[in-house]
Amino acid sequence: MDESRRERFEEIAPGLMEPVRRFLARRTDPETAEDVLAETLLVCWRRVEEVPDLPLPWVYAVARNCLHNAERAARRQDRVAARLMAQPDDPGPPDDQALHEALAALRPEEAELVRLWAWEQLTPAEIAVVLGISPNAASTRLTRAKKKLSDLLRKSAARAGHEESREGRRS
């Protein structure tokens, strides 16, 4: 039984590593990302029998839970303060301040839907697995979130006028 476990894990894990690393890099600081990657792989190893044939959405869901746990623990340990102070040193995302602000203005669930769609490039059915909601709900909520994000971006572009277009090109 141990051998088949190992075989299965060795079959799926190498393909999961990079996507999960990227998933975490998009959502937390490098140190936490590294910790949570290890934690996520450990959960996959423990629960290898449960990993579905299309593992990624399931594994993203695991990574998401592990990340939440890590962040809860970090809040308890005041590591958040240290992380916030460390942030200015981070290279950060490419310079699209308007997009950054628009994403931040979405509700957290909406922003996560949009990120899973654009960055992890998941289908609504896959997003549904990650978030533990029905495919229909994922689909309608994603549509709504995308529209809301577009509206926010349009408004901020209109507000900023020329200034925005100049800033938008800087990078």
Partner 1 sequence: MNDDELLHRLQASDPASSLPPADPDRAARLLEDVMSTELTTENRETGTHDRSPLTWLVAAAAAVIIAGAGIFAVMNLNDDSATPTAIDTPAASDPTVTELSAPDAAAYAAKCMVPNPEVLAEQTVAFDATVTSIDGTLVTLTPTTWYAGDPTDLVEVQAPSAEMQQLLSAVSFEQGGRYLVSATDGRVTLCGFSAAYSDDLASMYAQAFAG
Q: Minimum distance between the CB of residue 38 and partner 1, rounded to whole angstroms?
A: 5
Q: Is 164 in the site for partner 1 (CB under 8 A)?
A: no
Question: Is residue 82 involved in binding partner 1 (CB under 8 A)?
Answer: no
Only one of the segments 25-33, 53-61, 132-140, 158-166 lies at the binding site for partner 1 (rule: CB under 8 A); that segment is: 25-33
Nearest by Cα to 138 from 102, 109, 118:
109
Cα distance from N-terminal residue to C-terminal residue, the chain: 54
Is residue 127 close enough to count as binding partner 1 by CB under 8 A?
Answer: no
Q: What residues numbered 49-68 form the site for partner 1, per CB under 8 A? A: 65-66
For residue 78, give the 3-state DSSP assignment. Answer: coil
144 is an interface residue for partner 1 by CB under 8 A: no
Question: What tokens were used for 32?
Answer: 């936490």
**106 binds partner 1, rule: CB under 8 A:** no
Q: Contacts with partner 1: how many residues (CB under 8 A)?
A: 50
Q: How many CA atoms lie within 13 A of 48 on its CB side?
A: 18
User: Own/partner pairs for 3-10, CB < 8 Å, 24+ apart?
Assistant: 5/45, 5/48, 5/49, 8/48, 8/49, 8/51, 9/44, 9/45, 9/48
Identify residue 80 by its one-letter amino acid code: V
CB of 45 to partner 1, least distance (A): 5
Residues near partner 1, by CB under 8 A: 6, 9-10, 13-14, 17-18, 21-23, 25-26, 32, 34-39, 41-42, 44-47, 65-66, 69-70, 72-73, 76-77, 91-94, 96, 99-100, 114-115, 117-119, 146, 149-150, 153-154
